[in-house]
Amino acid sequence: MQLISEKADTDVAGQKSTSEFKFRGNSVAFVDPASLGRKGTTWQYSFTKVFNRPGDPPAVVDEPTFVSFEAQGDEDVTIPIGKFRGVKVDRKVGENLGSEYFVRGLGLVKRQMKEGTSWELKEFSGLKATDK
């Protein structure tokens, strides 16, 4: 999957903003499923950012952000909706390291970054957890 652009609207404690990410050519979000299953497979993408807050001029960040990934193989992952067999991927954004877990049919179910940011899938209707 190749990335072209992304736009996000946020509201944090009543402070609204919009972020736009412009990806450089050949920005690969995901390798093919067979490659994702091979430990050691790597890929990366990079982007520049524009932040907009109401009443302020756009803040343009021309310095690209680089994100790199390395597949770590199959691993069980437990999230609020159950335990699943997925693929663990190490993620690096600048100097920030972390792990992501992807489950077939669900996609990204968990992200843990060393600086403290985390994300988990808490609701989904469709697939059932394994009995492990």
Q: With helix as H, strand as E and coil as C, how does 18-60 read?
A: EEEEEECCCCECCCCHHHHCCCCCEEEEEEEEEEECCCCCCEE
Q: How many CB atoms lie within 10 A of CB 116?
A: 8
Give how far the C-alpha of residue 38 lies from the chain's centroid of Cα atoms, to the nearest Å.
19
% of the chain with per-residue pLDDT over 70: 94
| pLDDT, the chain, mean | 88
Condensed to tens digits (0 to 9), the pLDDT of residues 50-64 reads 999 999 999 999 899
| pLDDT tens, position by position, 27-83 | 777 788 888 889 999 998 889 999 999 999 999 998 999 999 999 999 999 999 999
User: Measured at the alpha carbon of residue 128, what is the angle toward residues 89 and 75, in degrees to the nearest 5?
Assistant: 25
- Prediction pTM value: 0.75
Question: Does residue 131 have a pLDDT over 70?
Answer: no
What angle (nearest 5°) sits at the alpha carbon of residue 100, between those of residues 109 and 51?
90
pLDDT bucket at 125, cuts 50 / 70 / 90: confident
**How buried is 110 (Cβ within 10 angstroms: 0-12 exposed, 13-18 middle, 19+ buried)?**
buried
pLDDT interval class at 4 (50, 70, 90): confident
